[in-house]
Amino acid sequence: MAPLQALSSVLVLLLLTQHARTSRASTLEDTCRLVGTGGAQDYDFCVKTLGADPASATADELGLAVIALRMAMATAKATGDRIAQLRAAETSPRRRLALDECAKDYAWTVRRLGRAAKDFATGGDEDRLTESEATTLLGDVRDTPARCDKAFVLWAGERSPLTDAGRELDDVMVLAFNILWHSLNHGAK
C-alpha cells in the first residue's frame, strides 16, 4: 500500500509541475497573442524574443514587459558599444560629430530603459512611472534610432551605419511598449 501511495504522490507532483509549466508558457503565448501587431511585431517574434530569456517561463504580463525593457536596454547598450568602436576608428570630423550625438543619445536611452525596467520590476506604486510617464519615456527612447539617423544626414550627409541596429531596438521597444501598455490598461497593476 505504501508504494502505491508514494507512486500516487509522485504522479500528482508531476501533474502539478506540468500544469504550472503549461500555465506559465500560456502567459507568454497569451501575452504575445494580445500584443502582436503584425509585421516584425507578430506572435512569432514576440515568443522568440521573450522566450530567449529563461525568466519568461515564470513571468506574468508585467514581468514580460520588464524582460522586454531589459532586452531593449541591452540592445541599446550594444549599439552604444558599436558606436564607440566606430568613433575610435573614424577619421572624418563630420562623421565623428554624428557618432558623438548618437553616443550621447544611446547612453541616455540605456539609462532611461534601465530606470523603467527597475521601476516596473520593483512593483512599488509610489515610485513607479505612471502610464503617461511610461508612454512618454518609451516614445522618447523609441526615437533614438531616428535621431541618430538624422544626425548622420545633418553632419555627414550620408546614411547612418547604425540603421539596422536601430531597427532592432525599435522592434524590441515596440514589443515592450505594447506589453507594458496592455499590462497597465488591462492586466496586472
Q: How far apart are CA 108 and CA 82, in angstroms?
A: 15
At 147-176, the pLDDT tens digits run: 999 999 999 999 999 988 888 998 898 888
Structural domains of the chain, with CATH: 2-186 (1.20.140.40)
Helices (H) then strands (E): counts for the chain: 7, 0
pTM of the predicted structure, to 2 decimals: 0.79
Match 518609451 to its residue by C-alpha cell: 138
pLDDT at res. 6: 41
At 66-86, the pLDDT tens digits run: 999 999 999 999 999 999 999
